[in-house]
Amino acid sequence: MSFADFATSRHGALYRYAYLLAGDRGLAEDLLQEALVKTYVGWHRLRDPNNAEAYTRRVITTTAIGWWRRKSWRAELPNDDVPDRPTDPDDVTARVWLWNELQKLPPRQRAALVLRYYEDLTEPQTAEVLGCSVGTVKRQVSDALKKLRARLGSDVVLKAGMTE
């Protein structure tokens, strides 16, 4: 598979991942573009083109974490019309709160949750993308879910399909 074929076929999934990490469409595009450039530069070093998506996700993750550390981007999330806490897990308000709270998580915890529950990767696959052990993934997910439950309540987190 050529790089062009890879980039064309996986653009949507990679963009979705970048968006879930960045929380902003423009930043997600920038993040994805930077990751694809880095993937293109390293394309000849990939032993197995089937690992290209995992490699690119890892680049997206490390780039996003680097941006966060430098605080060069952080989208302000609107919360003017959102009640103090959602009461009905099916409510749009609950989804807005979940989105806002997801954006407040530390980058590695957010990445672990996004990969596990939005991208449906297994723990070993998530560990590969994040470049860490399966135990670290379990810990990151557990800590993130604990924070979300404390902030939103178990009903909202459970309804979103996020269970340990």
Mean pLDDT for back-to-back runs of 10 residues, the chain (164 residues): 91 91 87 92 84 90 79 49 47 69 86 85 89 94 88 67 61
Cut 0.85: pTM above it: no
pLDDT at 107: 85
Q: How far separated are the first and last CA of the chain, in Å rounded?
A: 36
String of b and e for 15-33 (b: at least 16 CB within 10 Å)? bebbbbbbbbeebbebbbe
Q: Enumerate domains of the chain plus CATH numbers.
A: 3-70 (1.10.1740.10), 92-159 (1.10.10.10)
The span from the CA of 114 to the CA of 121, in Å, is: 9
